[in-house]
Amino acid sequence: MTAPPPTSRRGLFVAPFDALADPRVIGDLAARAEDAGWEGFFLWDHLQYGDRVAAIADVWTCCAAVAMRTSRLSFGPMVTPLARRRPQVLARQAASLATLSEGRFVLGLGLGDDWVGEFSAFGDEPDPKVRGAMLDDGLAVLTGLLSGERVDHDGPHHAARDVRFLPAPRVPIWLGGRSGNAAPLRRALRHDGYFVIGLDGPDDLSALAAQVPTSDFDLVVDLRADQDHGPWLDRGATWVLTRVGPFDLDLAEVQRLVDLGPSHP
């Protein structure tokens, strides 16, 4: 017998830009989201986002604010480019947020994109193939440290020799990637979830869901707030997120959207 598709959980996918570029505002929004019945609150992680975005809040400070202002929401960065971070530092940050939130923190990781020079402008690696190798190396170090295992890894991009952290509360790891790219899906299947970007329609979601595990694995999509979410629900995604941003954000309008709860649209 074929198992029924999972019931999609509903969350928000929030760009902490401009009117939302303040951890206090993000904390307030997360508290409102929890009260309104949303189950997740995930944050974009960027250093810059083109000429239309003037201010961006630090995702880790925002995550701490979310942890302190909520008690039920799952939350985390969606997604952090591991190639521009030191995996041992990221492991400490993730473990601390998992502890602070009593296990509600989810770590979203990916390649990132240099479409506005976000990597090259700061001297970070602009080549996506090199960033992919750095992501794989970093994941080996990061997952080992989060598990409490002794890590002795000597990869071409990230090395860790005979180090060990105390085990932390479990941190699920979701990998982000664009629809149609095989490498992100292969990478995600070695971890806890796949945040897929750029699906054309609900039928594509159903086809993708047939390629991933039916239990203990999250398949995550995000939709614009003005899209009809109904056709996407219960098509195999465990999470359907409503996108907030990135441009022309008005705090009062965002608050109204959050307060409507996951039943709208």
Of 256, 254, 262, 264, nearest to 21 by C-alpha is: 254
Indicate if the pLDDT at residue 10 is higher than 90.
yes
Which residues sit opposite 173 in a β-bridge? 107
pLDDT in tens, 11-60: 999 999 999 999 999 999 999 999 999 999 999 999 999 999 999 999 99
Cα angle 97-98-103, degrees, rounded to a multiple of 5:
145
Q: What contacts 215, CB < 8 A, 6 or more positions away? A: none
Please indicate whether residue 115 or residue 1 has the higher confidence score (pLDDT). Answer: 115
Domains of the chain are 14-191 (3.20.20.30)
Beta strand spans in 129-234 (E)? 151-154, 159-163, 173-178, 193-197, 218-224
Query: pTM of the entire structure?
Result: 0.95
Q: Can you tell me which residue has the tokens 């701490």?
A: 64
- The one-letter amino acid at 87: P
